[in-house]
Amino acid sequence: MPDFIVFPKIHGLKIQRMVQDENRFQIYLRAVNSRACCPECQKESDRVHSRYTRSPSDLPCFSQKTQLILQVRRFVCINQTCKRKIFTERLTDLIQPHARTTIRLSKIQQQIGLLLGGEPGKQLSSFLGMPCSADTLLRRIRTGSRSDYSPVRVLGVDDWALRRGQRYGTILCDLEIRQVIDLLPDRTSGSLADWLVSHPGVEIISRDRGGEYAKGASQGAPQAIQVVDRWHLLKNARETLQKVIDRHQKQVRESVKLLAERESKLSSNALHDSNPLNNSSTIPNTDNNSRKKKQIMYEQICELHQSGMSIRKMACQLRVGRRTVRRYLRTDAFPERATRSGTSCLDPHLDELKSMWDAGVTTATVLWRRLKELGFDGSYSIVNRKVAFWRKKLQISGDGKSILHNALPVSQPSSMCLSWLLWKPIDELARNEKKLVKELLQTPMIFQATQLIHEFHTFIQQQDSAGWDNWLERACSENAPIDIRRFGKSLKRDEEAVKAAMKSIWSNGQVEGQVNRLKMVKRQMYGRASFDLLRARFLNNA
């Protein structure tokens, strides 16, 4: 077998022999060049001082670990003024100075570390016949960190969580070539400004609505056009609509109650046509302990707020989040929790169950056994809950007829659900949802807020700023709801970037995708990777 099939031909090296045993494959090599160049003064020398042996590892051969037995010479430098008197000949095509592995093996280990990480890469390397530790793979990743940056014209900026809720970083993307450029260890204006100063030439910066990024972009690249991400604008608009609903809980509750009374009258007029057993909505349990605890907390927050206590102190004293305190303070009444509704494995068998119930079979055990015979594979508890719900919905009158309880035929959705119903076009809603939306729009403040938010949605969707000044004036006026005023004033502070978002084709959509990929790489390392390791692995994979 020719030697070059096992080991490539490298200038200045000669294969002496090959030895194979049960554990490894050894290749004996020696250097044959008569001269060597001094790494200090670059003078060639032919005066051999001594010889020594190096034993680096190489790529596996025949699925066995391969080790090189390399005989290397030391030379005497002939330059009398050189600081280095004795030097070792360099074999740059095969191995780096002081290295224990060949260059090609190091590159393979680096790729395994970049793709898999430490421990998974260690297991694969052992299986492929080139065992190494997880620390070695991580060291290969750090030494191969990318440091070259091409000039950037359109930059996308967003934050990402190194540790959610505690520590955040900044991701920078070139939106034209759709590639990650760099990761910053924090999300402060100073770090972004320093990066922009060291990388001039940025003309457009797409960012979220964070004040730190706006400040950093203005300091580091004052000539660049700032564009607010359209997705963040729409998200903030929908959240503003939710805050308006939170602030008018009494009116929302009255609207739901009026709609419930109308539906109850309709169902009582046609009791046999619309059996209450068809209604899958649950009855809100107002007597449960969880609701009482939350209501007590709501009352305590209101009392502490009236006494002048800050939100931070209230959150610490009551041991709740500051976001919860702010949400409670925005409402004018205790916010009821939305009741749950969804599909069940009992739904395909509701007709059979209802016919048995109408026939006089009201025992849950008997009903469950009969449904099992008809192919129902659910548990007894599902049937028992449904039967218990029907018993609460029905009561027996004096003449033996079943009549409806005074329970609400529709449940009150959460403020988030209501904000989405108001956000959507009316044509895309179901019949019951249209009725609820029309009832909510009878409240003047909710109607005004919904109208302004829909107009803002049109600006972003059609990328047309015609009429923007008039809208902003109405949104910031004293007659507008307080949450709409705050939203309008925040847009006014960043008006130039908001207007640019209505005209520019750039946004942070692809940056969000890169953040998602960064999360995947972070989870592969179980969230324990340091910033430099995560940055090196992510940028090299990019």
Residues paired with residue 396 on neighbouring β-strands, in sequence order: 402
pLDDT for 107-157, tens place per residue?
Answer: 999 889 888 888 888 999 888 888 889 889 988 888 876 666 678 999 999
Interval 243-267 mean pLDDT:
83
3-state helix, strand, coil in the chain (%, to 5): 50, 15, 35
525 against 461, higher pLDDT: 461
What is the distance in angstroms between the CA of the first residue and the CA of the last residue of the chain?
41
State the chain's mean pLDDT as an integer.
84
304 against 10, higher pLDDT: 304
- What is the total count of domains within the chain? 5
Specify if 345 maps to a domain.
no
Going by their DSSP bridges, the two strands 24-31 and 64-76 should be labelled as: parallel
230 against 276, higher pLDDT: 230
Name the residue among 156, 124, 197 with its Cα closest to residue 511.
Answer: 156
C-alpha–C-alpha distance, residues 132 and 520, integer Å: 25
Threshold 0.85, pTM exceeds: no
Q: What is the DSSP string of 518-529?
A: HHHHHHHTTT--
Range of the domain at 130: 105-143
On whether both 462 and 529 belong to a single domain, the answer is: no
On whether both 222 and 294 belong to a single domain, the answer is: no
On whether both 55 and 112 belong to a single domain, the answer is: no
CA dihedral for 5, 10, 11, 13, sign (positive or negative):
negative
Interval 477-501 mean pLDDT:
92
Specify if 476 maps to a domain.
yes
On whether both 12 and 95 belong to a single domain, the answer is: yes
The pLDDT, as a whole number, for residue 482 is 93
The pLDDT, as a whole number, for residue 288 is 60
Tokens at residue 494, please? 């960043």
Specify if 169 maps to a domain.
yes
The pLDDT, as a whole number, for residue 75 is 93
Name the residue among 502, 453, 515 with its Cα closest to residue 230.
Answer: 502
Under 8 Å between Cβ of 447 and 299: no
Interval 81-100 mean pLDDT:
89
* Amino acid (one-letter) located at 257: K
pLDDT for 316-343, tens place per residue?
Answer: 888 889 988 988 888 878 887 665 555 6
- Return the C-alpha torsion angle 358, 362, 366, 372, nearest 10: 50
Q: Could you tell me the CA-to-CA distances from 283 to 23, 74, 264, 294, 389 in Å, in that order?
A: 72, 89, 14, 19, 8
On whether both 126 and 137 belong to a single domain, the answer is: yes
Q: Distance between alpha carbon 294 and the CA centroid of its chain, in Å? A: 30
pLDDT for 265-282, tens place per residue?
Answer: 765 554 444 444 444 444
Under 8 Å between Cβ of 225 and 203: yes
* CB atoms closer than 10 angstroms to residue 489: 12
On whether both 111 and 92 belong to a single domain, the answer is: no
The pLDDT, as a whole number, for residue 342 is 55
Specify if 362 maps to a domain.
no
Q: Distance between alpha carbon 214 and the CA centroid of its chain, in Å? A: 22
